[in-house]
Amino acid sequence: MNIQLDLIPKKQLPSQLEVEWLVNTLRGCDWTTAQDILEAQGQPTTEEFKRRIRTLVSQAGGRIAGGQKGYKLVAEMTAEEYQHFRNWMLGQATEMQRRVVVSDKQFYSRQPVPA
């Protein structure tokens, strides 16, 4: 299935067709950056379009891994790549939780707390 999708930045969630387009685009590829994906489609490489790629990845049901090297299908990752991705994501989650805890401490230490 080779679909050239016109990625128009949108506020709404992507369609399943858009998600499948990205999955098919990444099939058989090594790590691929958003810029490479957009350039191959003749789309602008603006932050808005890159953000749309990130939205597609987040809606792909865990089928696409994203990281510093770009994007890759989880089903095509080596065990080492997957463990690195997994550990990186867990580290990000831990850091976000830590930030919430310290922000809570700051917020709830105020007197009085407005509704």
- Cβ neighbourhood burial of 7 (10 Å; 0-12, 13-18, 19+): buried
Q: 115 lies in a domain?
A: no
pLDDT tens readout for residues 7-66: 555 567 788 999 999 999 999 999 999 999 999 999 999 999 999 999 999 999 999 999
For residue 26, the domain's CATH number is 1.10.10
The total of other beta-carbon atoms located within 10 Å of residue 71's CB is 23
44/85 same-domain check: no
How many domains would you assign to the chain?
2
If asked whether residues 47 and 62 sit together in one domain, one would say: yes
Please give the residue range of the domain that contains residue 85.
78-110
Whether residue 64 contacts residue 53, with contact meaning beta carbons closer than 8 Å, is answered with no
Query: Do 17 and 61 belong to one domain?
Result: yes
Over residues 76-87, mean pLDDT: 97
Residue 2 is predicted with a pLDDT of 43
